[in-house]
Amino acid sequence: MRLSFILSSLILCALSAPAQNSQSTTEPAVRLVLERQQEAWNHHDLESFMTGYWNSPEVTFFSGARIYSGWQSTIERYRKSCQSEGREMGKLEFSDLNIEALATNAAWVRGTWRLTMSDGKTPHGLFTLILRKFPDGWKIVHDHTSAAE
Amino acid sequence: MRLSFILSSLILCALSAPAQNSQSTTEPAVRLVLERQQEAWNHHDLESFMTGYWNSPEVTFFSGARIYSGWQSTIERYRKSCQSEGREMGKLEFSDLNIEALATNAAWVRGTWRLTMSDGKTPHGLFTLILRKFPDGWKIVHDHTSAAE
């Protein structure tokens, strides 16, 4: 009787502890990934910005009706849209971040993005991110970004 | 010694079993939610379509740069865009579904949507969904939908 109680308690603790703790530990870690991305972008450092993404052919980026599969396609999409002739990166600001842990190693984020360009224009929109925790930290495994029409 | 081995084994089993099984049980259950949504849409039954979403003020729908918060706002957005005068629902088809379990009670989906309208036009685009498992089944808690520009 006593042994079965100890066993049940231990299993319950083992099962519930990660779920209880994941939001409080995940939220600041994921927020830091996005803060570093914002900082890197505003230093025009696309390579550092891209360290927020999972460096894998399996990472995906959705924009409008376009799918970019893989880290390489994603960085090329950014280079083409922001660093090619006549283009500029602008000043990036993420806001209204809503970060939710789904497991000890998985989270998702809703948020808004806004660029301020040198001509005063402010393209903006929304994003949804899925992040996984890897040995080298939290990384975006999927990014769905949309812009004001 | 023997007791500690039993305890460790039980805790390990309790921790690893859900993770191992979640993909195989989650994938067909989540696919069914989307199949039922597609069927309901194609019967012009918006109320049944909406049962795929979490009936909560916390459910969110992102489209372009617009945020619809809550089940009621979401159904009103669908009514306005698809059931108002001069509008039609068209024939809906989901494809390229990629369903991934993140925990025993959480999953995300990437996919493409395509409508075929009576005039032959085919608006289309991408979606990212977050689903949670509730006592009454898997429900979409967040939908980010974008269209070809």
pLDDT digits (tens, 9 = 90+) for B62-103: 999 999 999 999 999 999 888 877 789 999 999 999 999 999
Q: For chain B, say whether A46 makes contact (Cβ under 8 Å).
A: no
Torsion of CA B30, B95, A132, B16, to 10 degrees: 40
What does the pLDDT read at residue B82? Answer: 83
ipTM value: 0.85
Tell me the angle at which helices B2-42 and A2-42 cross, rounded to the nearest 10 degrees. Answer: 60
Give the list of residues 6+ apart from residue B29 with CB closer than 8 angstroms, or none. B133, B137, B138
Q: Hey, which residues does A138 pair with through a beta bridge? A: A133
pLDDT in tens, A21-57: 688 999 999 999 999 999 999 999 999 999 999 999 9
* Chain A residues closer than 8 Å to B10 by CB: 7, 10-11
Burial class (CB in 10 A: 0-12, 13-18, 19+), A124: middle
Q: For chain A, say whether B149 makes contact (Cβ under 8 Å).
A: yes
> What one-character DSSP code corresponds to residue A104?
T
Chain A, chain B: beta-carbon pairs less than 8 Å apart:
95
Residues 26 through 45 of chain B touching chain A, CB cutoff 8 Å: none
Look at B128 and A126 and tell me if their CB atoms are within 8 Å.
Answer: no
* Chain B residues closer than 8 Å to A10 by CB: 7, 10-11
Label residues A14-24 b or e (16+ Cβ within 10 Å = b).
beeeeeeebee
Compute mean pLDDT per 10 residues along chain B, 149 residues long, and list them.
55 49 90 98 96 97 95 92 85 97 96 96 97 97 94
Q: For chain A, say whether B114 makes contact (Cβ under 8 Å).
A: no
* Chain B residues closer than 8 Å to A3 by CB: 3
CA distance B145 to A142: 14
* Chain A residues closer than 8 Å to B128 by CB: 62, 128, 130, 142, 144
What single letter denotes the amino acid at residue B109?
V
